[in-house]
Amino acid sequence: MSEAIIGVDTGGTFTDVTLYDPASGRLIVGKTPSTPHDPSEGFGNGLGTLLTQAGLKGDAVGRVLHGTTVATNLILERKGPKAALLVSSGFRYVLEIGRHDIPRRANLFTWQKPPRPVPPEHVWEVTGRVAPDGSEVEPIDEAAIRRTAREIAAEGILTVGIVMLHSYANAAHEKRVAEILREEHPAVLLSLSSEVLPVLREYERSVVTLLNAYVMPTVSTYVEKLEQRAGQQGISAPLLLMKSSGGVASTRAIRRTPVETALSGPAAGIVGAAFVAEAAGFGDLITIDIGGTSADIALIRAGQPGITTNGRIADWRVTLPMVDLTTIGAGGGSLARISETGGLVVGPQSAGAVPGPVCYGRGGTQPTVTDAHLVLGHLPFGLLDGSFTLDIAAARRAIDDKIARPLGLSVDEAARGILEIVDNTMLGAIRVVSVERGHDPRDFVLVPFGGAGPLHGGALSRLIGCPVQLVPPAPGVLSALGLLASSLRAEFSRSCVQRKGRFDLDQIDAAFADLERDARAWLAAEGVADTARRISRHASLRYEDQGSELTLRWADTLDATLAAFHAEHERLYSFRLEDVPVEMVTLRVDAVGLLPALSLREIPKMGPADTAIVARQMISLAGGIIEAPVYDRTRLGAGATIKGPAIVKQLDATTLLLPDQTAEMHPSGSLIVREE
Amino acid sequence: MAQQRSASLMTGPGVDPVTLEIIRGGLRAVQSEMEVLIERTAMSPFIREKKDYASGLYAADGRMIAGKALPFASDLVTPIFEEYPPRSMKRGDIYWYNDCYLSKGGVTHTPDQVLIQPVFADDGLIGFSQTWAHFADIGGMRPGSLSADCTEIFQEGTMVPPVRLARDGVVNEDLLKIFVRNCRFPALVRGDFRAMLAAVALGEKRLEELANRFGGATLRAAFDELLGRTEAAVRSRLQALVPPGTYTFAESVDTDGQGSGPVTIRYKLEATEDGRFLLDQTASDDQTRGPINLVLNPKAPGVLVGVYLLGGSTEVSLNAGAESLFDEVKLREGSVLSPRFPAALGHRGVTMLRNLSGYLGLINTASGGKAAASHSPYVIWLIRGTSTSGERFLMSDGVACGYGARPFADGHDAVYLVAQENYPAEFVDISYPMRVRTYAINPDTGGPGRWRGGCGVIRELEVLAREALLSVRLDAIDHPPWGTAGGQAARAGRCIVNPGTPDERVLKPLSDGNVLKRGDIIRLETGGGGGWGHPFDREAERVLADVRGGFVSRESAERDYGVILSAEGRSIDQAATDKRRADRPAAKLFHRHGYVESLA
């Protein structure tokens, strides 16, 4: 395989691009401004810039991989088109009622129910009912469905989700409803719950199916534009999009289940972290991606990110398999302020890109985490290679006025307090993915990335006791690198309820066989050769009468799977119940299509580390103010070792090395930081 | 490792603002982690699907430092001190109770089991890890242990006074055996105990880690500081809302299920010139024969009003600091809020929710309508019986209501309570010999107002079991949730068997022993919340959206909101609406069966 591959990750401000040329082993990394009015424009610009820089023509490209926020933004900003939902009769209000709760942390008197993506007048009821065992209780009323289809057409609604009760057990009604809709309203796009997520619990299934319908028209159009943009660059290679589960899929597959791209960007970052860490010989990782407004934390075991079906997008439970990440409102733009009771609080409110931190000089007046770093000397005095300078005096003034004086602290103490609080917020989220999942964080390597990640990595690794920290080669564009390293991936799930410790092995085998048939068909449609296919079976199990399941790899035999379940339950929850029957709820088959591996060129050895020192500046730490060298990361060769305190600057991020921390440049390009 | 920090950073008694905020975040995280563990591992549908459980962290003197967002009581730990003084406690102890009377309202009905584990720092007791959960059945007169037929607490399941369940980390299995033997669904109870024991131990471990990280002295100082801050915050907020004076209010429970009612709770609040608040509820009616009595802990009113006052603040944590919001709380022994042993308590939920409504009424009375309108008390129905294959089942289904409108927003439609979830229809169908036929919004139940009260729901089931016995608890029918500031009252609910057929029968709202047979249709219609502000002030567009969404009928839009829609019902007839709205009915502070200046 000698064709180049390209990764394009669209973010809020920048579109990050990477190109890998296997012929030369060369990796090109770049950034181009994002174009929110039409993200495909930034995508096209990125492709053009890369090809020019690489001196390649479009036909030299073997595949293009893309991480997108189009679906996420539609959901977050509620900017989708008019959509409709068809449900079983009696359940028109399935979305409005939801689980009839107020979130556990919310206040009864101030909480407000988030508006649903479609109002009740766009939910239509359809006669027809099946029982949980799949038998028909009441047939569907075809004439009524035809009338409904015409009403939907008359409303000008072009995308519809169909959710009928117990369709995970028998999808015949949903399929017939879909046929009739297509006959009566040929322009309609359909999402069937039995295809999007055929598992028990009608509200959760309805939400996922509806969100799929909600994003489908826009994502379809977007994907078409991407193909045109690639064509304009002379690229005819396949375009693959990153899904929330950390694998890519063809545009054909994405058009059918576009909601699977909801965590596209963060998933790519996690894949990127796994890739760079593997190149340095590490497989057990805690990753933290710190941006301007939020931080995403995930745990990776033996190179594999965890997959959850308890995820959320905005206010919605999205029970599709997705990378298990915890998102918190803590980032460089998080605002610090004094609470009404005189406490110091940081975030979750953020200054965002506009006005941004005080030091950006764009009108921000409330100090942020970035301002605290700047005041303490953690940042080189200018970002993006000095393209704009930071107003340290304004940052200092803001911290003094708004935090330090009201609390009776010095400016440095206040700034350190801001960082300490935000670091502890992140620590809490790191504990959620590690300690709370039965993992000891000290057994993991911390991988901080994102623009602000490596500024916090040193303090975080100390707080959680990670002995090793790995700062990726280009921490600010790791998602784009992750795209290059990704595989094709799809998950196929189905409810297959086995109760009271009685397992019908024939039924289980038949269900797995069905799912595997779907998986093979998918791999074939994606053009994956037999030798590159990886198919694995998973089952979700629980003790009888429990309400949530643990998903485990199916271990060939039932007994081995059950043994693994008892062990996992004990590891997670501190006890096992061997005398209680085990039940099975959902079966899942994962299909992976391996893409040609990426092998990055090692970085060369260079002169002594000292020659990479480009400046010295005073930094303020808990122990006092000390002078620290500023290194240019591009001038650090393989094996170069530097001691903290130090600052390592590069185009897309800044690494802060604390006293008693030592960093060594690994030949794969990552900085490996250890405590002395 | 204790944190080192320069002396200049210290403010207050030994804990600086940065450490304080870190500890506050840490406590919240521990409490959440305990709850996740219970939810993932418990076995009663009541706990795992409905999520009727909570966890808390307490200081060494038994004051709650971190708990759930809406605790109906906060004083759960001190009840064990009488029998087991803190100095007698050791690492590895676990205490257990469900006794409502001996805990003085720490718990308020017996199905709620409380576990408490002391936590020790290097220098002694630092606090407690606590959890409670509502068990599906703990014996008693009827499956589910709650029944309108109960007239004394002995019929409501096994009572457990504060006992030491574990010493040196070893659980006294004999105690559990006796308890479990008296439960109708022993496997669920054993499973729920395992989940709770694991959660309380987790809390102990995590709180100990916090103590090791910050040092016992710092942690204790932080507890004091957090309590003090909350106390100050709720008091100043109440002072801003309630000018000096004396205010009265009355709220009623319709029936005790045993032929008595209404049962009225009466409030008198005195706000003194020097900023003190004296609450007197002694004029409330006598305790009842039926099981609606509430053992109200005198510290609870401050916490409940505190939840209201703190609103959604992420900066001030709700904790026991709110307990002293009222400088004095007077209750009368023998009244419905302070019943004498052994009055039945099982369905105290209606009284609890009506009492909460009364506190809102009191604040509205004092502030001229600045608080939320009233809500319907959440509804519960229990269906027990035998499936066609001969298996015994118990389904305890909590059903949502509408909540009161606020000065800034509509009331919640279709909400049960904070952090409590419904049984999905597919879960009911697969788990019980029942089929959910309809689950919908109950239109026009929300009280009309500038902000509309929330609507209740309609839940209709078909009985597939050979036979079943239905217990239902509905209230606020004779005394619908009031509206305020010009907003109108909500519409009430009802429970019907075989609606629209010759054997249609409307059940008594608080009743048990209703016999059902295979093929019966049972329909529960729940009530809404009151409205806030004059309905003629509601934007016509919102009224139109409510009509189109099925929350408000066309007739109500016209009659109550003065909004006339076009013939096809998809737009507003502006001229007709203007004309109708020109003739604006006069409003008063409260509305229940018509506008009134006061409800007292």
pLDDT in tens, B553-579: 999 999 999 999 999 999 999 999 999
Q: Rounded distance, CA A134 to CA A124, Å?
A: 22
Model confidence pLDDT, tens digit, residues B327-371: 999 999 999 999 999 999 999 999 999 999 999 999 999 999 999
- Give the DSSP H or E segment for B188: helix B186-214
The mean pLDDT of B135-149, rounded to a whole number, is 93
Q: Please judge whether B403 and A108 are an interchain contact, meaning their C-beta atoms are less than 8 angstroms apart.
A: yes
> Residue for token digits 């014996």?
B139
Pick B48's closest partner by Cβ from A101, A344, A547.
A547
Q: How many CB pairs under 8 A join A and B?
A: 244
* Cis-peptide into A355, omega within 30 deg: yes
| pLDDT beyond 80 at A420 | yes
B546 φ, ψ (degrees, to nearest 5): -65, -40
For B27, B70, B355, the CA distances from B310, given in Å and listed in that order, are 18, 11, 19
Q: How far is B437 from chain A (nearest CA, A)?
A: 6
Token representation of residue A235: 């690229």
Model confidence pLDDT, tens digit, residues B488-544: 999 999 999 999 999 999 999 999 999 999 999 999 999 999 999 999 999 999 999
How far from chain centre, in Å, is Cα B68? 11
Token representation of residue B454: 């929330």
Amino acid occupying residue A475: P
Model confidence pLDDT, tens digit, residues A351-398: 877 888 999 898 999 999 999 999 999 998 655 455 568 899 999 999
Name which of B31, B430, B552 to mutate to probe chain A: the one with the most chain A Cβ atoms within 10 A of its Cβ: B430
Q: Note the pLDDT of residue B281.
A: 98
Helix A411-433 with A453-464: angle, nearest 10 deg:
70
b/e burial code for range A600-633 (CB count within 10 A of at least 16 → b): beebeebeebeebeeeeeebbbeeeeeebbbbeb
Q: Please judge whether A413 and B9 are an interchain contact, meaning their C-beta atoms are less than 8 angstroms apart.
A: yes
Contacts of B311 in chain A (CB under 8 A): 107, 109-110
Model confidence pLDDT, tens digit, residues A106-121: 889 999 999 999 999 9
Read out DSSP for A248-269?
A: EEEHHHHHH-GGGGTTHHHHHH
Q: How far is B405 from chain A (nearest CA, A)?
A: 9
- Among A103, A95, A94, A100, residue whose Cα is nearest residue B399: A100
Pick A421's closest partner by Cβ from B22, B310, B409.
B22
Contacts of A572 in chain B (CB under 8 A): 40
Q: Rounded distance, CA A650 to CA A669, Å?
A: 13
The mean pLDDT of A230-236, rounded to a whole number, is 96
Q: Note the pLDDT of residue A31.
A: 87
Helices (H), A485-557: 505-525
Helix B173-181 with B186-214: angle, nearest 10 deg:
140
Full set of structural domains in chain A with CATH: 4-74+220-262 (3.30.420.40), 75-219 (3.40.1360), 489-593 (3.30.1490), 609-675 (no CATH)
The mean pLDDT of A292-316, rounded to a whole number, is 91
b/e burial code for range B477-511 (CB count within 10 A of at least 16 → b): bebbbbbbbbbbbbbbbbbbbebeeeeeeebebbb
Amino acid occupying residue B400: A
Q: Note the pLDDT of residue A388.
A: 62
- Name the percent of chain A lying above pLDDT 70: 99
Average pLDDT, chain B: 94
Q: Rounded distance, CA A264 to CA A275, Å?
A: 17
Residue A339 near chain B (CB below 8 Å): yes
Model confidence pLDDT, tens digit, residues B285-329: 999 999 999 999 999 999 999 999 998 787 888 999 999 999 999
Model confidence pLDDT, tens digit, residues B246-255: 999 999 999 9
ipTM of the complex: 0.91
pLDDT-derived band at B150 (thresholds 50, 70, 90) equals very high
Q: Note the pLDDT of residue B8.
A: 37
Contacts of B317 in chain A (CB under 8 A): none
Which residues 6+ apart lie within 8 Å of A658 measured at CB? Answer: A458, A459, A462, A621, A644, A645
Contacts of B55 in chain A (CB under 8 A): none
Pick A110's closest partner by Cβ from B198, B312, B426.
B312
- Among A244, A313, A266, residue whose Cα is nearest residue A482: A266
The mean pLDDT of A629-657, rounded to a whole number, is 94
Pick A111's closest partner by Cβ from B197, B312, B427.
B312
Q: How far is B259 from chain A (nearest CA, A)?
A: 32
Pick B430's closest partner by Cβ from A497, A547, A577.
A497
Q: Do β-strands A14-21 and A4-10 pair in parallel, antiparallel, or remain unpaired?
A: antiparallel
Pick B22's closest partner by Cβ from A108, A137, A420.
A420
Residue A345 near chain B (CB below 8 Å): yes
Q: Note the pLDDT of residue A385.
A: 54
Q: Please judge whether B441 and A432 are an interchain contact, meaning their C-beta atoms are less than 8 angstroms apart.
A: no
Q: How far is A549 from chain B (nearest CA, A)?
A: 8
| pLDDT beyond 50 at B7 | no
Q: Please judge whether B417 and A101 are an interchain contact, meaning their C-beta atoms are less than 8 angstroms apart.
A: yes
Model confidence pLDDT, tens digit, residues A483-505: 999 999 999 998 888 888 889 99
Amino acid occupying residue B7: A
Q: Which residue of A has its CA nearest to B374?
A: A109
Contacts of A348 in chain B (CB under 8 A): 314
Residue A172 near chain B (CB below 8 Å): no
Q: Please judge whether A431 and B460 are an interchain contact, meaning their C-beta atoms are less than 8 angstroms apart.
A: no
Q: Please judge whether B424 and A202 are an interchain contact, meaning their C-beta atoms are less than 8 angstroms apart.
A: yes
The larger pLDDT score, comparing residue B39 to residue A632, is at: A632
**Dihedral, CA atoms, A299, A302, A305, A309, nearest 10 degrees?**
-100
Q: Do β-strands A189-192 and A159-163 pair in parallel, antiparallel, or remain unpaired?
A: parallel
Q: Please judge whether B232 and A341 are an interchain contact, meaning their C-beta atoms are less than 8 angstroms apart.
A: yes
Exposed / middle / buried, residue A676 (Cβ in 10 Å: 0-12, 13-18, 19+): exposed
Q: Which residue of B has its CA nearest to A422?
A: B22
- Among B510, B564, B553, B78, residue whose Cα is nearest residue B258: B510
Model confidence pLDDT, tens digit, residues A207-229: 999 999 999 999 999 999 999 99
Q: How far is B10 from chain A (nearest CA, A)?
A: 9
Residue A387 near chain B (CB below 8 Å): no
For A167, A312, A584, the CA distances from A198, given in Å and listed in that order, are 7, 18, 15
Pick B33's closest partner by Cβ from A343, A436, A569.
A436
Average pLDDT, chain A: 93
pLDDT-derived band at A50 (thresholds 50, 70, 90) equals very high
Q: How far is A117 from chain B (nearest CA, A)?
A: 13
B68 φ, ψ (degrees, to nearest 5): -75, 170
> Residue for token digits 């130090």?
A646
Q: Do β-strands B379-386 and B467-473 pair in parallel, antiparallel, or remain unpaired?
A: antiparallel
Pick B194's closest partner by Cβ from A106, A544, A575.
A575
Pick A99's closest partner by Cβ from B29, B421, B440.
B421
Q: Which residue of A has its CA nearest to B441?
A: A93
Model confidence pLDDT, tens digit, residues B383-400: 999 888 888 899 989 999
SS3 category, B75 = coil
Interface of A with B in 496-555 (CB under 8 A): 497, 543-548
Q: Which residue of A has its CA nearest to B371?
A: A109
| pLDDT beyond 70 at A162 | yes
